[in-house]
Amino acid sequence: MNRIGQALLWAGGLALAALMVYTVYFDSGLGGTGRWSGTADDATPVAVFYPDRTLWREFRQGVEACVRKRLTRVLEESDGSILVETARYKRKVRFDLHDVRGLRATKDEVQDLLETDPAPVAFVGSSNTVLTQAIAETLRASAGPGEGGGPVLLVPWASSVLADRPEPGEGPVALLDIHPGRTFRFCPNNQRQADLLVSCLAANDGGKTPARVVLVEDRLDPYSVDLGAAFHRAVERIAPEAEIVERADSLGLPLPQDVYALPGPSEEALAESIWREVDARPDGRTTWVLLPLQEEPALRILTALRRHARLVPGTGPGPLRVLCGDGIGFTSLTRLAGRCPFPVWCSSSASVPVAAQAVGQGLSPDTQVAAEIVAALVLCMDLPPSKPLTGNGLRDALASLRIAPGDPAAMGRSLSFSRSGERGGDDLGHVLMIRPDHPGVFALARGPSGQWGAPALLKSEPLAVRP
């Protein structure tokens, strides 16, 4: 009986120890679901509009980055919702995914949410300019003059400077002025991307400037039109003597079911004409091809340029340079690295050290922007219970937010906004590049003095992540 009693005491002690470890682990927020008292009914809702589940996965990884910095902890998590608690005042915030697709569906979903109680104090989204504009227009139309002032809009990926007004004949409007004073952009806008790419290539191409620039634009895509105009301005500043030729009618029909679709006759003809023009220029000057396009059409043109190339990979950079916006990311460049007989340059919203760390862990570099959005919200919403959280209060807190690169809350770089809602700081964005003589992807960043650093090779290791 004594042995049985001792065994029971040992078993009870082990069970109590295990319970203590479990409680500490999950209460820290690192376990994904914490132990807490209360209900989710008093949580402040934040609506996240992403039509793509990949972006929601990156957003969840951004929450996890904030948990590791102890800015918040996760209380509950489901497939499309994350309930967190702020660090100081334990205010609960619930991020809900709304994966609607299409312009009309997005506007209807936003309007329905604005009529709920409580309505979201912030909207995050969306993946492109058209859907982001739909959210902004609905928020502006529903904003009232009262104390609340309406929700704020946090823009993760819509990079267009200008957008078309819904009223015909009124001309374009700044994207951040549609819901004025309450819209904050976390990614570089198209002009910043274009300036970054053009200056980086000019600084790293042995002092060469292009004799001819071919700008391939999709006039049915607002993103393409806006980035194309930004590229045009950037090239004129760097190489005012270059001949800029716009090719707006050379795109085939989109094939959304296959991102790596084969090029059609129009892309094949465009690629052949570009290479003929390169062959006809014997002076050794370079030709730049600018692709302000979404991923699928850009990849089709890159495939066509590879097919019609007069060079083979590994024989040097040759006379052709290709520049893309942020439509092509690290994953696509990895598939093209070492297979293109010409260098390809793309912009990225991440900073190089964070991108290198993310890639090394098998994560997306875009997680950095998601983490910054979550950090900004939980910091600005971490208020005592006696202070109500209004739309105006959140707007003012975001507008006055100043996070230095060395701040414990920083995600590897500074975070602040100008009066217009554009992101400030000189450490926003970098350039990705692949070379004909190497199967890897390189990253380049500009230092505080404006000088470009040496290319850094990004190395990726496979890592199992949650779907």
Cβ count near 238 (within 10 Å) = 15
Domain co-membership, 119 together with 98: yes
Residues 107-129 pLDDT 10s: 999 999 999 999 999 999 999 99
Domain co-membership, 74 together with 196: no
State the pLDDT at residue 372: 97
The answer to whether residue 28 is domain-embedded is no
Cα–Cα nearest to 63, from 32, 34, 42: 32
Domain co-membership, 214 together with 264: yes
The answer to whether residue 106 is domain-embedded is yes
Residues 398-433 pLDDT 10s: 999 999 999 999 999 999 999 999 999 889 999 999
Domain co-membership, 73 together with 157: yes
The answer to whether residue 1 is domain-embedded is no
The answer to whether residue 360 is domain-embedded is yes
Domain co-membership, 148 together with 293: no
CA distance 398 to 391: 11
CA distance 343 to 316: 9
CA distance 449 to 423: 19
Domain co-membership, 245 together with 287: yes
Cα–Cα nearest to 397, from 373, 368, 376: 376
Domain co-membership, 171 together with 226: no
| Beta-bridge partner residues of 29 | none
Type of residue numbered 191: Q
The answer to whether residue 421 is domain-embedded is no
Domain co-membership, 194 together with 183: no
Cβ count near 349 (within 10 Å) = 24
CATH for 275: 3.40.50.2300
The answer to whether residue 33 is domain-embedded is no
The answer to whether residue 376 is domain-embedded is yes
Domain co-membership, 320 together with 386: no
Domain co-membership, 176 together with 281: no
Angstrom distances, CA of residue 156 to CA of 170, 189, 192, 367: 27, 10, 15, 11
Residues 243-263 pLDDT 10s: 999 997 555 444 444 445 688
Tokens 């002690």 belong to 13
CA distance 155 to 376: 12
| 258: containing domain | 190-348+429-458
Domain co-membership, 183 together with 45: yes
* Cα dihedral across residues 206, 210, 214, 220: positive or negative: positive
Q: Does position 210 have pLDDT exceeding 80, yes or no?
A: yes
Residues 257-283 pLDDT 10s: 444 568 889 999 999 999 999 988 767
Number of folded domains that form the chain: 2
Domain co-membership, 276 together with 404: no
pTM of the model: 0.85
The answer to whether residue 423 is domain-embedded is no
Q: Which two tokens stand for residue 155?
A: 């823009």
